[in-house]
Amino acid sequence: MYMKILRAVWTLSCCLLVSCGGSGESPNQVTPVVPVLPVTESPLSLPSVNQNSLADEITPHEAVATMAIGINLGNTLDAPSEGEWALAAQEYYVEAFRDAGFKHVRIPITWDNHIAASAPYEIEVEFLNRVEQIVTWALDRELFVIINVHHDDWIKANFASQSNRNRFDSIWLQVAERFKNTSAKLIFEILNEPQGLSLADTNTLNKRALSIIRNQTSNRLVIFAGTEWSNVDKLLAVDVPDSEDQFLIGNFHSYDPWGFAGECQAQWGSEADKEALTAIYQKAANWSLAHNTPVIVNEFGSAKYDFTQPEHICEQSQRQAYIAAHVANAKTFGIAATFWDDGGSFSTYNRAENTWGPEKDILVSP
């Protein structure tokens, strides 16, 4: 429905210039040259649709409590072509996640290479079908599923561009329509780590995306986060997109301190280190209570080595203690948490061999 409406709008907008001529022109008559001005895009209007209400409605507090600890299918649908950054998704991965004891899976998605660069910004049918296939694998196994807009840095780099904003809107217009009748266990995350956007721009984008999703479905769970790399302080600073909306979940990321968890050039495990991590979760819990909005940390973890400098290796016992501290804090403060597994340095699951590293039994105790 959305694409039919949008095509019609754009067809009309491209017929603004009409060339007129008569058959009685003098041979010496010079036809004036009319300059063709660039067409400036206008903000997209929301399509007129029948808003859906999910019969299997889940409140955000119920969802966060049930989602507990989950895992990212990282670097999979983020790559320019699936399989370039990590092995392509297989159904047995999702089966392994469920059997291991994870309660939800996050599927990061970068749309840039799969959506047209010009209006009406159609998503490739094959790619959208692939997204739905992986989502269905997880939902069929009773897992909660998060899908998002992940590494689409073009919207972060030039938010002032109306065409960029229309292209971003078009992602959620199409995704919200495609999945409007899908299980309430499917959750939409508006934008991953809006690094480069101002606080005002992030607030604008969150509110706009939420309005697009709500136009299709009144009670789909939606996750939002703050600016930059989405640390907890950015969550505290950002607006709740709609204070009246009862189906929102706040989100932050934590690889703190990055010198240890990402670069493997620091030690971790002192009492001060543990207290600093607990303080992050305490901030999130305080924010949750103040806004009556539950929280998820949908990226946390520790690298085995710095992928930019592989000679820097993290000490395994410290990695495991760090991951255990995250899990303990998440449980203590009632925050759902999603381990970042990218199939590489941050992984615990060996996709090719269908085996688990020692981190798994820390994340989901046997």
SS3 143: coil
Distance of CA 241 to the CA centre of its chain: 16
The crossing angle, in degrees rounded to 10, of helices 162-178 and 2-13 is 150
Q: Distance between CA 343 and CA 97 in Å, rounded? A: 13
Check: pTM over 0.85? Answer yes or no. yes
Q: Distance between CA 348 and CA 221 in Å, rounded? A: 28
Mean pLDDT over 245-251 rounds to 98
Assign a CATH topology to domain 57-363. TIM Barrel (3.20.20)
Contact 338, 300 (CB under 8 A): yes
Q: Say what the pLDDT of residue 33 is.
A: 58
Which residues are bridge partners to 147 per DSSP?
A: 107, 188
- Return phi, psi of residue 153, to 5°: -70, -15
In degrees, rounded to 5, the angle at the alpha carbon of residue 108 between the alpha carbons of residues 123 and 139 is 90
Give per-residue pLDDT as tens, 57-71: 999 999 999 999 999
Confidence at 29, pLDDT banded by 50, 70, 90: low
Is residue 118 predicted with pLDDT exceeding 90? yes
Which residues are bridge partners to 222 per DSSP?
A: 188, 248
Q: What DSSP line would sit under 151-176, residue for residue?
A: S-HHHHH-TT-HHHHHHHHHHHHHHH
SS3 299: strand
Mean pLDDT over 215-238 rounds to 98
Among the options 177, 263, 299, 359, which is catalytic?
A: 299
Distance of CA 299 to the CA centre of its chain: 11
Output the CA torsion 191→194→200→205 (10° steps): -20
Provide the residue ranges of all domains of the chain, joining segments of one domain with +. Answer: 57-363
Q: Which of 294, 209, 206 is nearest to 246 (CA)?
A: 294
Is residue 290 predicted with pLDDT exceeding 60? yes
- Show the tokens assigned to 198: 């101002």
Q: Distance between CA 1 and CA 49 in Å, rounded? A: 8
Distance of CA 36 to the CA centre of its chain: 39
Q: Distance between CA 248 and CA 222 in Å, rounded? A: 5
Among the options 177, 189, 193, 228, which is catalytic?
A: 193
Is residue 22 predicted with pLDDT exceeding 60? no
Q: What is the DSSP letter of 40?
A: P
Q: Say what the pLDDT of residue 347 is.
A: 97
Mean pLDDT over 289-310 rounds to 96
Q: Which of 243, 158, 174, 181 is nearest to 206 (CA)?
A: 243
Is residue 313 predicted with pLDDT exceeding 70? yes
Strand blocks (E) in 255-313:
295-300, 305-306, 309-313
Bridge-based pairing state of the strands 309-313 and 305-306: antiparallel
Q: Say what the pLDDT of residue 365 is.
A: 82
Give per-residue pLDDT as tens, 61-110: 999 999 999 999 999 999 999 999 999 999 999 999 999 999 999 999 99
Q: Which of 116, 245, 254 is nearest to 188 (CA)?
A: 245
Q: Say what the pLDDT of residue 23 is.
A: 39
Q: Say what the pLDDT of residue 338 is.
A: 98
Output the CA torsion 138→140→146→147 (10° steps): 80
| 228 tagged catalytic | no
| 353 tagged catalytic | no
21, amino acid identity: G
